[in-house]
Amino acid sequence: MANEKTWETELAKLGAMQAQAREGGGSERLQKQREMGRLTARERIDYLLDPKSFVELNMLAEHQCHDFGMEKKTYLGDGVITGHGTIRGRRVFVYSEDETVLGGSVGKAHGTKIHTILRLARETGVPVICLNASGGARIQEGMDNVYGMTGMFYQNALNSGVVPQISAIMGACTGGNAYSSALCDFIVQVKKGSYIFITGPAVIKEVTGEEVSFEQLGGAAAHSAVSGVVHLTAEDDRECLDVIVRLLDYLPQNNREKPASRSCADPVDREVPELTDIVPIVMSKNYDVKRIIRAIADEGDFFEIHKAFARNLVVGFSRMDGQVIGVVANNPKFLGGCLDINASDKAARFVRTCDAFNIPLLSLVDVPGFLPGVRQEHGGIIRHGAKMLYAWTEATVPKIAVIMRKMYGGAIPAMGVHEIGFDQVFAWPSAEMQMVGAEPAVRILYRRELDRAEDEKALFDQKVREYQDTYLTPYHSASRSIIDAVIHPRDTRSVIISALRMLENKTEPSRAYRKHGNIPL
């Protein structure tokens, strides 16, 4: 009989459909993408995951739209490849959008495939990698886009703080897709040929009259240095995927685990005498705090996050005694290490990320205070600075601070003291800590005496020295248990590791019940 089923015919049909799905938008379009120096959606998954570990889900899904001639434009898989596999033996979920299929646009079927793996990632406690290359919502599907696109945001938000979510911008990532990426923990963007924005140059020109290129508006340079949307950048597709693998190495599978520790040959009691060469004792001289981080870390290990954004503050992952830690450090090389609006946001976000995934925090302090100025005040420095205070207070992971040179004013709680929830606070002998510096303090405290003095300058200089010797030394703070110890700079590494070991099993008493706090966003 002509219609009789056989294993041979059914398996041949399955094989043909799978082969069709693997072709995406067709061999010509795939080849064109390769000729542009980019990997295809499937090649990206193959490069990222361990060989033969990928298990594809919903390979044969298709859109169900019959408007605007869409019934003639169906592709198996509907422009996104979804599934799970392993990276260095660790299970991950992954989706990879395919720009050769309807521009990678998101409709109901496309979005549903993404919803599914985002939900499975949360329910199984596994990280999710989002490889974005999409022109945004598929307008031909009308309000079905609400299901396809908005459901992605919903699942991203539910996953937040539960499993790591890493988004890669490897092509266009526009409209609603940009929000899905923004809801992830980290965004990595390829420098060439990738863009992320809500509204494109054409719409901007029509509405506002502004003319801007794709690169200026949504390129990696703009979003890594100006907007702060992007955390990490890469030269090409392969480097982007390599960055993801390295980043994942510092993260746990989920919020119930700690990042994996590793054996390290770097002695825990290694002295670091070069720290006093790196840090000038003269407060007005600058240095790069990243040299300090690498000097005290295991074998110089430091993976910086948000490198080009708010460079007056450095954040990133390191290891000490084989254990992953998050580092927050003032960098006097830029703006003298002052905290400003962008630095506050950068720190608060990083602190909360580390706390969500059980990563201890180290604060390296050398800060003159918050950056003064009308622009900062009107830009909301009070609100943004409060985010840092909130993040430190909310965090329950071990928190250690080392005050290297100075810590003044509102920056005191913003960078770490016991009263904001820090477990251990240490200071170098060079450290100065007070609400204000010596000169402004003397002008306030001795104003009348200075006004009556025969030699105002001599009296002023005398009082400044007295104030410095009495109140600006770490010993004043040590006498009040504001700091736990004054340490020799060369012992910084061993002191931090000792504190980390002591705090390894730290638990906090239960806090008052609340549905959630109200961070000053």
The answer as to CATH 3.50.50.60 being correct for domain 7-248 is: no
Q: How many whole angstroms separate alpha carbon 130 and alpha carbon 180?
A: 9
Checking 287-294 for CB contacts under 8 A at 24+ apart, the result is: 287/332, 287/333, 288/331, 288/333, 289/314, 289/329, 289/330, 289/331, 289/332, 289/333, 289/337, 289/364, 289/366, 290/314, 290/329, 290/331, 292/329, 292/364, 292/404, 293/318, 293/327, 293/329, 293/364
Q: Is the pLDDT of residue 80 over 80?
A: yes
Question: What does the CA dihedral 233, 238, 242, 245 come to, rounded to 10 degrees?
Answer: 110
Q: What mean pLDDT is predicted for residues 261-272?
A: 95
Query: How far is C-alpha 478 from the chain's CA centre?
Result: 34
Q: How does residue 291 score in pLDDT terms, banded at 50, 70 and 90? A: very high
Paired tokens of 5: 């089923």
Nearest in space to 156 (alpha carbons), one of 137, 128, 135: 128
Q: How does residue 14 score in pLDDT terms, banded at 50, 70 and 90? A: very high
Q: How many whole angstroms separate alpha carbon 70 and alpha carbon 87?
A: 37
Q: Which residue has the tokens 């001795």?
A: 446
Going by C-beta distance under 8 Å and a sequence separation of 6 or more, which residues neighbour residue 492?
272, 275, 296, 402, 426, 428
Q: How many whole angstroms separate alpha carbon 351 and alpha carbon 254?
A: 17
Are 131 and 97 in contact by the 8 Å Cβ rule? The answer is yes
The answer as to CATH 3.20.20.70 being correct for domain 275-435+473-502 is: no
410 labelled catalytic? yes
- How do 399-408 and 424-427 pair as beta strands? parallel
Paired tokens of 503: 């705090």
- How do 361-367 and 399-408 pair as beta strands? parallel
175 labelled catalytic? yes
Predicted confidence at residue 1, as pLDDT, reads 52
Q: What mean pLDDT is predicted for residues 195-201?
A: 92
Residues paired with 188 in a beta bridge = 168, 232
Q: Which of 77, 151, 175, 437 is catalytic?
A: 175
Q: How many whole angstroms separate alpha carbon 199 and alpha carbon 335?
A: 33
Q: Which residue has the tokens 């303090």?
A: 441
Q: What mean pLDDT is predicted for residues 443-448?
A: 91
Tens of pLDDT along 384-412? 999 999 999 999 999 999 999 999 989 99
Q: Which of 85, 148, 151, 176 is catalytic?
A: 176
Predicted confidence at residue 4, as pLDDT, reads 82
Q: What mean pLDDT is predicted for residues 300-318?
A: 98
411 labelled catalytic? yes
SS3 112: helix
Q: Which of 200, 410, 416, 437 is catalytic?
A: 410
Predicted confidence at residue 140, as pLDDT, reads 78
Q: Taking all residues of the chain, what is their mean pLDDT, rounded to a whole number?
A: 93
Tens of pLDDT along 154-193? 999 999 999 999 999 999 998 888 999 999 999 999 998 8
Nearest in space to 105 (alpha carbons), one of 204, 25, 49, 185: 25
- How do 55-57 and 80-87 pair as beta strands? antiparallel
Q: How does residue 69 score in pLDDT terms, banded at 50, 70 and 90? A: confident
- In the chain, CATH 3.90.226.10 sits at 7-248, 275-435+473-502
Q: What mean pLDDT is predicted for residues 251-273?
A: 96
Q: How many whole angstroms separate alpha carbon 94 and alpha carbon 85?
A: 8
Q: What mean pLDDT is predicted for residues 365-378?
A: 95
Q: Which of 411, 431, 441, 499 is catalytic?
A: 411
Tens of pLDDT along 47-62? 999 999 999 999 888 8
Question: What does the CA dihedral 273, 335, 349, 304 come to, rounded to 10 degrees?
Answer: -50
Nearest in space to 415 (alpha carbons), one of 428, 400, 431: 400
Q: What mean pLDDT is predicted for residues 266-270?
A: 96
Are 330 and 312 in contact by the 8 Å Cβ rule? The answer is yes
Are 321 and 288 in contact by the 8 Å Cβ rule? The answer is no
Predicted confidence at residue 2, as pLDDT, reads 59
Q: Is the pLDDT of residue 141 over 80?
A: no
